[in-house]
Amino acid sequence: MNDSDVKEILLEYIGGDLSSDREKELQTLLTEHGYTLEELDELREAYARLDDVPVPAPSAAMTENFYRMLEEHKRQATARQRRLDSLLAWLRNRCDRRLIARVAGALVLLGAGWSLGFWSAPDAHYDRRLDDVTAEIREMKGMMAYAMLGQSSPTQRIRTINQIRTCGSVDEGMVAILLNMLGDDPNVNVRLVALETLAMQADRATVRQGLVHSLGRQESPLVQMALTDVLLSLDERASISQFRGLLERPDLNDAVRARIASGLERLM
Amino acid sequence: MESGSDNSLMLKVRSGDVDKLGLLFERHKAALFGYFYRSTGSAEISEDLVQNVFLRILKYRAQFSGNGSFATWMYHIAHNVCADHFKKHGTGRNVANLPGAPPQDCETPEGRLLKDERLRVAEEALSQLSTDQREILVLSRYQGLKCRQIAEILGCSVGAARVRVFRAITSLKQVYAELER
């Protein structure tokens, strides 16, 4: 016999509901579980004394309030029903059945579309987490590239610049380093890749200014030509004086001279 | 199902015949008032809470399935109303407002005094119990509900309800012993 069964018999005795055929079970239980009949009688008396506590009758106001609440509820329900009936009557008078069927059909389609969209839409929380992880990876790639720009091998430096380009988050510090590379790097290819990367950031004023200032420092015709093309494509009028300075240099490559001359005409 | 039973009346209320709620109110108002009165000790609060229960019955009438008894469903709502009240206003029970038993013609002054003292102790004992224990005694003793119904109202197993009733009676006996020492 588990605890619940034991309590069942004890409560039947305490509550005065124990049938005569269950009395034997109680006797066995008292012996087995160490209860005494005196203890149970004390509990029985304590339980029965609860009946001593009187309860007053509720006031008539409680009943009045209840029926008032019921009437108010019925009045509101009737008003709601009347509004619904008048709406339906208005619809019946104004619209023919085909129109109602079309509106109902449109509503069903709208509901179905909404449900479909709701269930098939990607999890926004998942997308946000994915964006966060992607941004962190990009940032780490950028930081690694930052540290590798001082490499001695031109190939390594070009690879690093490409990494900066793909990381997608080029900050002002990186722009400054790229501008330095464009101006000072001994390798032409490195300077060309730096120029290409900077051209992608040309919406920044610092980049455009840096490109203009760099023009006068370039000796390589390849870099001069590429830089001229970038500045002309940006319609950068601030570069006019730099172009004129270049044209005065006697050692300027003929192809570069021709490109600058035609570009100057367009800019002016 | 009998046509005048609580369940059939409530099913009619559910299907829109809300006037039938009046019959249910008349049948259960006194017992429900007693349930709240013994829990709160205030007639005024108890009347408000009874009103609240019938308002909820009206509001949630669609949820009545008719599978269980109406009384159990009603006391389940009453239990929630009572819990909300205690959550909002504290669990204290008002003993001072409780009325004494009406005097009877054949009573001697000594008998009257003894009776009043017995009543005072019973009131005090009920007040000293925890809200849960007081409620479980009210449901089992005053409302005459079986452990199976109490279990449904409180949302526990029948075995747990039996153990809780037994513990509440044991606590009551201990409180009596302390008060009468």
Chain A nearest C-alpha distance from B122 (Å): 6
DSSP per-residue string spanning A51-65: GGS--PPPPHHHHHH
Q: What is the ipTM of this complex?
A: 0.80
Mean pLDDT (whole number) for A83-101:
79
Chain B nearest C-alpha distance from A76 (Å): 12
Cβ contact A187:A157 at 8 Å: yes
Distance in angstroms (rounded) separating the CA atoms of residues B147 and B161: 6
- List where CATH 1.10.1740.10 sits in chain B: 1-94
pLDDT band at B96 (very low <50, low <70, confident <90, very high): very low
Tell me the CATH architecture of domain B1-94: Orthogonal Bundle (1.10)
A188 plus A231 within the same structural domain: yes
Tell me the residue range of the domain where A46 lies: 3-51
Cβ neighbours, 10 Å, residue A14: 24
Distance in angstroms (rounded) separating the CA atoms of residues B119 and B111: 12
Three state DSSP letters for A146-204: HHHCCCCCHHHHHHHHHHHHHHCCCCHHHHHHHHHHHHHCCCHHHHHHHHHHHHCCCCC
Placement of tokens 């420092």 in the chain: A217
Q: Cβ–Cβ of A62/B122 closer than 8 Å?
A: no
Q: Cβ–Cβ of B166/A10 closer than 8 Å?
A: yes
Neighboring chain A residues of B172 at a CB cutoff of 8 Å: 46-47, 50
- List where CATH 1.10.10.10 sits in chain B: 109-181
Distance in angstroms (rounded) separating the CA atoms of residues B42 and A56: 10
A158 within some domain: yes
pTM over cut 0.90: no
Q: Cβ–Cβ of B33/A4 closer than 8 Å?
A: no
Distance in angstroms (rounded) separating the CA atoms of residues A130 and A123: 11
Mean pLDDT (whole number) for A116-139:
75
Binding-site residues on chain A for chain B (CB distance < 8 A): 2-4, 7-8, 10-11, 14-15, 42-43, 46-47, 49-59, 61-63, 65-67, 69-70, 73-74, 77
Share of chain B above pLDDT 90, in %: 56
Helix (H) or strand (E) segment spanning residue A41: helix A37-48
Write the residue in B43, B125, B173 that is nearest to A56 by C-beta. B43
A181 plus A215 within the same structural domain: yes
Split into its structural domains, chain A has a count of 3
Q: Cβ–Cβ of B169/A59 closer than 8 Å?
A: no
A145 plus A187 within the same structural domain: yes
Neighboring chain A residues of B102 at a CB cutoff of 8 Å: 54
Neighboring chain A residues of B54 at a CB cutoff of 8 Å: 66, 69
Cβ contact B175:B128 at 8 Å: yes
Q: Is the confidence at residue A77, as pLDDT, over 50?
A: yes
Mean pLDDT (whole number) for A254-265:
87
Write out pLDDT tens, residues A176-230.
888 888 888 888 888 888 888 888 888 888 888 888 888 888 888 888 888 888 8
CATH 1.10.10.10 is right for the domain spanning B109-181: yes
